[in-house]
Amino acid sequence: MIIQVKIENKIIELSLSEKEKILDTLTFAEDHDLASNLLPNIDSLLKKNNLRPKDIEKMKLKTDIAESYTSFRIAKAVEDAFNWAKAVDN
């Protein structure tokens, strides 16, 4: 399973997919509070689908915002940390 974090037009969409099929999505507005909302919303998506972080193979980030924006850096840090933890765990 993969979690994709998509940031476009100040809307955050978290999608849970398996083999190119989207199983569930969670959408919320980016209102300069991504640092306090991203991880709780990822946790909520996982719990809703009776999953744990170890059930996720990878996290992907797709965005239309520039790398210099704080929201991008927050989402990228979460993606990198998650994928690093998965790599270390294997």
Q: Could you read off the pLDDT of 57-77 as tens digits, one per residue?
A: 999 999 998 888 889 999 999
Which domains, from first to last, does the chain contain? 2-89 (3.30.420.40)
- 10 Å CB burial of residue 18 (0-12, 13-18, 19+) is exposed
- Residue 42 structure tokens: 């990822």
| Structure confidence at residue 67 (pLDDT) | 85
* Residue 20: how many other CB atoms lie within 10 Å: 6
Average pLDDT over residues 51-58: 94
pLDDT digits (tens, 9 = 90+) for 16-40: 999 989 999 999 998 888 999 999 9
| β-pair type (58-63, 21-29) | unpaired
Question: Helices then strands (H, E): number in the chain?
Answer: 2, 4
